[in-house]
Amino acid sequence: MTIRSLEYDYIVIGSGAGGGIVFDELKKKNKNVLLIEKGPHVKSENLKKQFYYSLKNIWKYSGYQHASGNISLPVLQGVSLGGSTTINGSIMQDLEESFCNKIIFETNIKNKNFRFDNLMNYQKELSNEFNIKSGSKEFLKDNNLSKEVERRNWKCDLSKRAVSDINYKGRSLSGNSIENIILRKYQGLNILTNTDVKQIINEKNRILGVECFDKLKRKNFFIKVNKKLVISCGAIESSKLLLKSKIKNKNLGKKFSCHLSGAVDALFSKDKKEIEGSLNAIEITTNDRFCRKFANQNVPDEIILSRIPFQNEDNLQSKLSKISSWVYNVSSKNNGYISKNFFDYKLKFNIETEEFEKVKKFIKQISEFLFNLGAVNVFPNVINKNNLTKNIKETQNLLNKIETKDLLLTASHLFGTCCIGKDENSGVIDENFKVFNYDNLFVVDSSIFPFPTSYNPQLTIMIYAKLASDIIINE
Ligand SMILES: Cc1cc2nc3c(=O)[nH]c(=O)nc-3n(C[C@H](O)[C@H](O)[C@H](O)COP(=O)(O)OP(=O)(O)OC[C@H]3O[C@@H](n4cnc5c(N)ncnc54)[C@H](O)[C@@H]3O)c2cc1C
């Protein structure tokens, strides 16, 4: 990575879905900008099939970060050039009008740039830049899966991904990351990796620069910012950095929300054909407002195996090719928050009864669907109890018995902690993405959203990052 100076007009901290886009947009306009990233630069193709390498090197705390409350919730984030997009499923879901309207309504934003039709122009640009498409729909026609979906009046589709990029041809999960499509073209120029920004230095509400730690040389150093500083460290981390830097705002660290994500696995007997083809990124949209989408999941066998209560491995191996795994997301409320203890800042999060009931409802819907397709066993995402169920009655009995702590949920779609609001009493940033009361400090990433999307958020984060870049450049 190359750095030519210790003084820049613009500095962007964090290189994920938010920061990667802002850096690219500033570069396109020939701005003197530096991108700082805490994690290493690991090229996407090197991650292929190296799951444990990637866990160790580019997952935050090797995937062990969690929120504490009435449920122990693993909270997943990436730490590498490309941020969480390097470890994510690369599923791109379209911006929804209802989400944009809710942002406008709840924050009372008057700026017409926030309107759905304007934001859709950014989506169009991104779709071209990332070549976002879904695969062939051929196999979805007239199979048992699509018939079962139709019978329920649901919708069956193939997920959209970025299908090509500058150097890496073909589709892989990480091949679609911001690193691969956006950042690699700069060949490290003006990109500083393995560099942890420890503190933002400000004087009389103007940011002067950032105090950094070079993780390889183990040295502290300072970089001056002449014009604007953009924080894009992601939900949780952006607010932690601002809190550590003693930026004053009473909403910092508040309104954390996420998708409560779980997986329902099913075992089909070898001769059954019903789920043939289902490893091709199928997305199913239900007609339930809260339990909306679930999708088949492509994760290493070890992960799926760890969720299934079999002792006899030989028996399992012979059945392995017929395991089908489906993941769902339920939007949480926004009452998580960052709290300070003696050593660090921690994330607190409690799952509410209403959310718990929604999760159970979704598990039941998916289980029913899988049994109807001919599943022999369905394994809901329940721990502490035997989760092998042979029919929907058994699934329902299991769900009746569980408490929140028995659910095996994770959160990897994170929102909030530096939310947009109409004034400093309700938010951290204003409609220009600027931190209230600071001249040249901006936040652009998933932390700005005061509530979750009801769908996968990466494309939405990138769309708002494009809007923010235009504002930051033209302001
Ligand atoms: C396992 C997983 C699967 C997912 N799958 C999907 C999917 O299929 N589709 C979808 O739409 N979304 C998916 N997501 C969510 C999506 O990846 C995130 O919502 C999105 O990447 C968040 O963007 P961001 O810019 O807010 O933060 P991030 O992408 O997390 O980027 C933040 C970056 O800031 C860096 N950083 C933090 N603190 C500092 C500091 N002090 N100094 C320097 N750098 C710092 C971090 O290292 C990180 O690289 C998934 C996420 C995960 C974890």
> Tell me: the pLDDT tens digits for 68-125?
999 989 999 999 999 999 888 888 999 999 999 999 999 988 889 999 999 999 999 9
CA of residue 88 to ligand 1 center, whole Å: 8
Atom of ligand 1 nearest to the CA of 159: 8
In tens, the pLDDT along 290-333 reads: 899 999 887 777 777 778 776 655 555 565 557 889 999 999 99
Nearest-atom number in ligand 1 for the CA of 414 is 19
Amino acid 369: pLDDT: 95
Give the pLDDT score at 80: 94
For residues 133 and 209, give the distance between their C-alpha atoms in angstroms, rounded to a whole number: 40
Identify the pLDDT of residue 327: 94
Q: Quick one: which of 447, 437, 441, 424 has its CA closest to 475?
A: 441
Atom of ligand 1 nearest to the CA of 90: 8
- For residue 239 and ligand 1, the question of a CB distance below 6 A is answered with no
**Per CATH, which fold does 7-133+174-252+417-474 belong to?**
FAD/NAD(P)-binding domain (3.50.50)
Nearest-CA residue for atom 47 of ligand 1: 79
Which segments within 254-383 are labelled E, that is strand?
Answer: 257-267, 282-285, 293-296, 323-331, 337-340, 345-348, 377-379
Q: Is the CB of 20 under 6 A from ligand 1?
A: no
* Residue whose C-alpha is closest to residue 334's, from 220, 179, 448: 448
- Residue 158 Cα to ligand 1 midpoint, Å, equals 23
Q: Considering the entire predicted model, what is its pTM?
A: 0.94
Distance between Cα 61 and ligand 1 center (Å): 14
What's residue 26's pLDDT? 98
Among protein residues, the one whose CA lies closest to atom 1 of ligand 1: 88
Per the model's pLDDT, the better-predicted residue between 168 and 212 turns out to be: 212
Q: Is 380 in the pocket of ligand 1 (CB under 6 A)?
A: no
pLDDT of residue 1: 55
Residue 2's pLDDT is 55
Is the separation of the CB atoms in 173 and 11 below 8 Å? Answer: no
Give per-residue pLDDT as tens, 111-146.
899 999 999 999 999 999 988 888 767 667 777 888
Measure 83 CA to ligand 1 centroid, in angstroms. Answer: 5
Q: Which of 58, 216, 233, 462 to mutate to test the pocket of ligand 1 (most atoms within 8 A of CB)?
A: 233
Q: What is the pLDDT of residue 275?
A: 64
* Atom of ligand 1 at shortest range from CA of 233: 34
**pLDDT grade for 3, boundaries at 50, 70 and 90:** low
- CA of 85 from ligand 1 middle (Å) equals 6
Residue 364, Ramachandran bin (φ over 0: left; ψ between -120 and 50: alpha; else beta): alpha
- Cα 239–chain centre separation: 17
3-class secondary structure, 412 = coil
Question: Quick check: CB of 78 below 6 Å from ligand 1?
Answer: yes
CB 445, CB 417: distance < 8 Å: no
Q: Which residues pair with 326 in a beta bridge?
A: 264, 296
Please work out whether the CB of residue 14 comes within 6 Å of at least one atom of ligand 1: yes
Name residue 297's amino acid: Q
For the CA atoms of 23, 26, 32, 34, what is the dihedral angle to 10 degrees? -10
Query: Ligand 1: which residue has its CA nearest to atom 23?
Result: 17
Residue 166: predicted pLDDT? 46
Identify residue 195 by its one-letter amino acid code.
Answer: T
**Residue 457 CB-density burial (10 A; 0-12 exposed, 13-18 middle, 19+ buried):** buried
Whether 410 is in the pocket of ligand 1, judged by its Cβ within 6 Å, is no
Cα 432 to Cα 414: distance, rounded to the nearest angstrom: 22
CA–centroid distance, residue 154 to ligand 1 (Å) = 30
pLDDT of residue 314: 55
Q: Is the pLDDT confidence value at 186 over 90?
A: yes
pLDDT number for residue 168: 47
Question: What is the Å distance from ligand 1's center to 79 Cα?
Answer: 8
* Pocket flag, ligand 1, residue 77 (CB < 6 Å): yes
Position 153 scores a pLDDT of 96
Taking only the tens place, the pLDDT of each residue in 408-442 is 999 999 999 999 999 999 999 999 999 999 999 99
Burial classification of residue 386, based on how many CB atoms lie within 10 Å of its CB (0-12 exposed, 13-18 middle, 19 or more buried) = exposed
Beta pairing, strands 377-379 & 257-267: antiparallel
State whether the beta carbon of 251 lies less than 6 angstroms from ligand 1: no
Going by C-alpha positions, the residue among 467, 474, 461 that lies closest to residue 14 is 461
The residue extents of the domains of the chain are 7-133+174-252+417-474, 257-333+352-406
pLDDT at residue 46 tops 80? no
